[in-house]
Amino acid sequence: MPFTTHLRPPIDNCRYQKLAIDDSFEARKLNHSHSAVSIKILHQGSNDTRYSHLLVATESWYRFSKMTAVNSNLFKQLMSNYWQQKIFLSNSTKISQKYIALLAKQESLATKNDKKKLLIGFSKALQNGRIDAHTFGNAVNIDPKQLYSSSCIQYIWRKNFNIIPPKSLKQFFFNKRNAYFPSEKQKDLLQILKNNHLPLFFVANNSKQIVMAEPASQVIEKGGLLHAMSQWYLDSFVWQKDNGGVYEGWFFVNPKDAEEYKDFITSKYTRSHDQHGLRLFAGGMSFYYSLNRLAPPRTEFRICPDLEEVGQLITNNSYRRNVIFDSRQKYGKSYFQGQPIYFIEPFAVKYKGSKSIGQYYYTRKEENVERQYQAVFLNKDVALEAWKQFRSNRPKHSIPENPKLRVYNLEDFLKDEENRSKTRDNTFLLVPGLDTYQAFIASNVDSALFKLNNSDNLLSYLRNSQLWSRRLVGSLISRQPPA
C-alpha cells in the first residue's frame, strides 16, 4: 500500500495554512513517541476530511527518521553501530526537499551532529569499500523509469570485522582483471605489437619503478593496519571491477608531455625526488598492452595522447581539411577520446586508361622480401608526407594530390584488433610523429624492454627488498621519515 507521511509541526512555534483534501479516505495513525511523524494508509472512503498537516508521499523518509531516532533496543543499536547498518536512499523531489527543511528546524543540536557523523562515516565507507560497490553497479543498470518509480534502494554498511563474503576463491590464484590473458587472439596481437617500434614514454625512479598517481580517497584513508588488511581482502577476494578512485600509471606518446609531467612531480615532491630520483623511460607498445590488461585491482595504465596533435585536431579548422571522423569516434568542439590515429582511405587510380580503386599500404623490406602493412599514423603531417612519397614513386599513375584521411583513436583500435574473428593477411604498422623520434634520439631517455616473466618478477621483488632496506637504514640515521 502507498504510504503518506504527515509532519505535525509544533503549534507554538509555527503555523501552516490548511490544505484542502478533495479525496475521501480512511486513516490509521502510527505515532512515534520521539517523532512528529504519522503514517496514513489511503483508501477510497465516504467522509471528507480536512487536515492541517504537510503531506509528503514517500516511504523512505519515514525509514530514515526511524533510523536516526533514538532506538530503545540496545541490541539493535549495538548492531547498527559496530556490525552493520541499513541505509535507504530515495529520489530527491521538491516535496522531499521541503520536508527535509521542515524536519531540520525541529531537530536538536545533538540530532544534527549525529546525522553529520552518519554522512561523514557513510562517505568514508563508500571510498574504502566497506559498502559493496557492486550494489551501485546494479543500480546503474536499472531502467531510469523503473528506478524513479521505486520507493528506495537499500544498502548494507558493513563495519569493523563484518566483511563482504568472497565472490570467488579462484580470484586469489589467477589474475583478477584478465584471468585467461593472453588468449590466442591476444597472443597474435602481442606479436604484432612487439614487431612495432613505437616508443611510449613513462616516468620512473632510479629503481625502474613506474610513478603512479594516487587517488585522493586513498590519501584520506591512508594509515591503519585494519584499513590495510581490509583493502588486501577486498582486492584479493571481492574485487570485480574498478568503481572508485584508482592508481593511474601514464604512458605518453609525446616525450615533451612526459618531460613536463616529470618536472611537475619533481617540483611537487622535491624530497622524494632527491632520495629516489626521476627519469624518463621508453617502453614498447607490447609492454603497455600487457600492463593494461593485467593491471592489479584499483590500478589502471593509460595512454596520455599527444596533446599538441589533439589541440590542432579539435580547434584548427584547416587542420581538419580532408579529414573524416570514424563513426565510432567520440569527439566534440572541446574534446577528443583517446590518441588520434589516421588511416589513408581507398582512392581512385587511373592507369593506361583504366580506372580502379587503390589501397594504401606501407611497404618495408624484410630479409630481401617486401612486406605490406596497414599504416596507422599517429600524426597527420607524417601521413601527408607518406602520401607524397607514395605518389612520387608512381609517376605513371593518376593519383589524387591530397588523400582522404579517416581519424580514430588508438585505444579502441587495439580493442578492435583484439576481438577480430581472424587475423588479416597483412598486419598493421604504427607510425609515430617525426618529432617523437627526433626527441627520443636527442634526449637521454632510457630504453626499457621489460618482459613479464618469472625472472623479471623475481628481480622486481629483489629491487623492492633493497629499496625498503635502504629506507629502513635511512630512517635510522636521518631525523626525517623516508619519502
- CATH classification at residue 245: 3.40.1350.100
One digit per residue, the tens of pLDDT, for the chain of length 483 reads 443 434 444 434 443 333 333 443 333 343 444 433 333 444 444 444 443 333 434 445 555 555 555 555 788 888 888 888 887 777 778 888 888 888 888 888 888 888 888 888 888 777 766 776 444 444 444 555 554 445 567 778 888 777 777 877 776 777 778 888 888 889 999 999 998 888 899 999 988 889 998 887 666 566 567 777 878 888 888 787 887 778 999 999 998 999 999 999 999 988 888 888 899 888 889 999 999 999 988 899 999 999 999 999 999 999 999 999 999 999 999 999 999 999 999 888 877 677 778 788 777 777 777 778 889 999 999 999 999 988 888 887 888 888 999 999 999 999 999 887 665 555 899 998 877 767 666 655 555 444 333 334 434 444 454 554 555 444 444 555 545
Same domain, 258 and 325: no
Using only C-alpha atoms, the chain has a radius of gyration, in whole angstroms, of 31
| Structural domains in the chain (count) | 4
Based on the domain organization, do 287 and 320 belong to the same domain?
no
Residue 123 belongs to some domain of the structure = yes
Cell numbers given for 14: 509555527
Examine the domain organization and report whether 43 and 146 are in the same domain: yes
Sign, CA dihedral 26-31-36-41, equals negative
Whether 187 is covered by a domain: the verdict is yes
Instruction: Indicate if 203 and 103 belong to the same structural domain.
Output: no
**Do 15 and 147 lie in a common domain?**
yes
Neighbouring residues of 321: CB distance < 8 A, sequence distance ≥ 6: none
Number of other CB atoms surrounding residue 12 within 10 Å: 6
Does residue 25 lie within any of the structural domains? Answer: yes
In angstroms, rounded to a whole number, what is the distance separating the alpha carbons of residues 260 and 267?
11
Domain with 407, as residue range(s), is: 307-433
Say if residues 16 and 9 touch (Cβ distance below 8 Å): yes
For residue 344, what pLDDT is reported? 93
Same domain, 421 and 409: yes
Query: Reduced to 3 DSSP states, what percent helix, strand and coil does the chain have, rounded to the nearest 5?
Result: 40, 20, 40
CA torsion sign, 61 to 62 to 65 to 71? negative
For 183-213, give the DSSP string.
Answer: -HHHHHHHHHHHH----EEEEE-TT-PBP-B
Domain boundary residue, one of 118, 137, 158: 158
Do 403 and 339 lie in a common domain? yes
Report d(CA 241, CA 296) in Å as an integer: 10
Q: Is residue 440, in this structure, part of any structural domain at all?
A: no
Whether residues 101 and 210 fall in one domain: no
Long-range contacts (CB closer than 8 Å, 24 or more residues apart) made by 171-180: 171/236, 171/237, 171/239, 172/236, 172/237, 175/294, 176/235, 176/236, 176/239, 176/296, 176/297, 177/293, 177/294, 177/295, 177/296, 177/297, 178/293, 178/294
One DSSP character per residue, 256-316 reads HHHHHHHHHHHHH-HHHHHHH--EEEEE-HHHHHHHHHSPPTTEEEEEEP-HHHHHHHHH-
